[in-house]
Amino acid sequence: MTAGQNNVGPAPHGRPWYGADVVLIGLLFAYVTFIHSRHLRWYVGGLHNRAPIFLDPFILLLMLATPVAAGCLLVLIERITFDWPRHIPDRKRLGRLRALVVFGLLAFAGLFFLPLPRSYDPFILGYRRYARSHVNVPVMRMWLDTLDPNGWAGETVDLAYLTEAERAGWPQAIVSSKPHKIEFFPDAEGYLAVSLMWSSLDDAWGVEIGDTDMKIAKPVPREEAATTAREHAQYRLLLEPGAYVWHDVH
């Protein structure tokens, strides 16, 4: 055997010399997978009508995992640069293995920057499923038909500030939804419509219900000083004819 061949094989105590590299690469792939899961996290948040906040467990774990991943990357770079040549005398094979690891990690990490399909927002996809099972559109539309558009258009109501007697006069379909705010507005044809809104520190979202012919409104640019989050919500999806869900990221 040559001197180079003597270095290839198990390390002392029967452990392969590349065992540490396998662990480091596995940890880096796990870290990148964790980052990719943010889309799933937002989708699940929509399913539960709850937008993830800044200090949710995902963010805290990411903050803890980032320095660990950075350390793993530095150690892996050091091993690829200095240790691998001592164990892999074939330069072509060494180059192929280096390229496989480097480009494999880069390609997997690069998936993060691929654009989503034209639903673009995982939260609103999840929230639409939530709204389909928790928002009674027909009942709310029937109730809207009993209201005077001239008396209600432009009104905003916060159920939390109503007394029990006042809240009793509202449809159970709305009260049970527990929206943070209820906004009444005229649609493009002048018919009365209602928006149920929820919000967190950085997001606002909700569902708009109007006449069955009501179209999804186009977002108002922020520079035009829109008065409510629903007016400049970037993401909108049809729930059913005359009703749609929206999500505004501040």
User: Are 51 and 122 in contact, with CB atoms under 8 Å apart?
Assistant: no
Please give the Cα distance from 48 to 61 (Å, whole number).
21
CB atoms within 10 A of CB 11: 12
Please give the Cα distance from 220 to 198 (Å, whole number).
19
| Ranges under pLDDT 50 in the chain | 1-9, 118-119
User: Are 45 and 53 in contact, with CB atoms under 8 Å apart?
Assistant: no
b/e for 167-198, b at 16 or more Cβ within 10 A? eeeeeebbeebebebbbbbebeeebbbbbbbb
State residue 3's pLDDT score. Answer: 45
State residue 52's pLDDT score. Answer: 74
Six-digit token string for 118: 């034209």
pTM exceeds cut of 0.85 = no
State residue 160's pLDDT score. Answer: 83
State residue 225's pLDDT score. Answer: 62
